[in-house]
Amino acid sequence: MSRGRVLELDDPRWRAFVESRPEATPFHNPVWARLLADCYGFRTFAFVLGEDDDIDAGVPVAEVRSLRGKKRWVALPFTDALAPLGQPDRLPELTTALDRQRSAEHIGSLEIRADARNGFTSVRGLAHVLPLRPDPEALLRTFSKSQVQRSIARSVREGVSVREAEHEDDLLETFYGLHLRTRRRQGVPIQPKRFFTLLWDRMIARGLGTVLIAEIGGQAVASAVFLTWNQRVVYKFGASDHRAWGSRPNHAVFWEAIRRACAAGTEQLDFGRTDSGNEGLRAFKAGWGTEERPLVYTTFGDSSTSPGSGALGSVLAATIRHSPPWVCRVLGETLYRHAA
């Protein structure tokens, strides 16, 4: 059985391997892991099986720390799902070798954000994926009439228009402003603003993603960030002004994203992770005719090193909701990286 080996994320052998895999998603693109590393100070690497320049299987990994300093390996943090890549018969060997490496380096636990089968598996939410067609209008007719088709039509009647971000300020000011208000309403810290600066420079500006902004009378009321690569589009972040929900701006944003993806010949649109118990979001995504499946994560080692929520999370949520917006920002700057 192979011991496996570590490669740097910018190693041309790793990039060539990832680009050769048809199942690779935007989260497998080395740019994504490097962005996380540079923003949050994570040690990141690719762990692979294979001899010399040949790679049979591999997965990107980040080393993260809890507030108490405990180390964990995650493939990858702040990522909805990320299955190891490679020949199916080599994948169990890959994760076993990676777990041995974890133990040798005295790392508390390893989390694979996929069903690796040879570890402890648990369902962490739901995934919703929409297979795309060349003709978006034909696809439109497959959507729920009551939940989606009528909402799209209503957004048109209400004068909602959707544009693509063209400048950095569209992300760092327009989207971020909506995102900050949304996160405060939800009671969760916002990502550090430098994350979005890196996101624009590393991905959006290089054609690896797009930002769509819904407006009414020139006023931004909803926005979403989509990552694009390897014939896939992934919805990653969304924000909206709850006062404009009646005009259905979020439906307008997703419909525009679908139309653009179909025109580009993209194969599928991933609606992102839905946490267990969020039935409203689940129903929204199901209305688009998506294929629903459980999001299974696999843990090796000491699962107690994984971040928890509980009473502390409830107190934090209440604090954010009842505090000025700057509190949400400061907490994000200081705590967000520890929630990986």
| Separation of first and last alpha carbons in the chain | 31
Residues with Cβ within 8 Å of 201's Cβ and at least 6 positions away in sequence, in order, are: none
Kind of pairing between the strands at 268-274 and 120-131: antiparallel
The answer on 150 and 249 residing in a single domain is yes
The answer to whether the CB of 9 falls within 8 A of the CB of 46 is yes
Tell me whether residue 331 is in a domain: no
Give tens-digit pLDDT for 120-166.
999 999 999 999 999 999 999 999 999 999 999 999 999 999 999 99
The reply to whether 137 falls in a domain is yes
Domain-located, residue 339 = no
In-domain check, residue 335: no
According to DSSP, the residues that pair with 28 across neighbouring strands are none
The residue type at 34: R
Residue 338 lies in a domain: no
Distance of CA 291 to the CA centre of its chain: 18
Q: How far apart are CA 269 and CA 288, in angstroms?
A: 11
Q: How many CB atoms lie within 10 A of CB 319?
A: 13
| pLDDT score recorded for residue 336 | 85
Q: How many structural domains comprise the chain?
A: 2
pLDDT at 117: 78
CATH of the domain at 238: 3.40.630.30
- Say whether both 151 and 254 belong to one domain: yes
**169 and 142 fall within a common domain:** yes
Q: Which pLDDT score, from 0 to 100, does residue 306 have?
A: 57
Q: Decide if pLDDT at 2 tops 80.
A: no
Domain residues for 25?
A: 5-125+298-306
Distance separating alpha carbons of residues 162 and 105, to the nearest angstrom: 49
* DSSP assignment string, 81-126: --PPEE-GGGHHHHHHHHHHHHHHTT-SEEEESS--SSSEEEEEEE
Mean pLDDT of 263-280: 94
The CA-based angle 7-8-14, given to 5 degrees, is: 65
Structural domain includes residue 221:
yes
**Do the beta carbons of residue 204 and residue 170 sit within 8 Å?**
no
Predicted confidence (pLDDT) per residue in 210-242, tens digit: 999 999 999 999 999 999 999 999 999 999 999
Nearest to 302 by CA among 66, 84, 76: 66
Cα 57–Cα 62–Cα 64 angle in degrees, nearest 5: 150
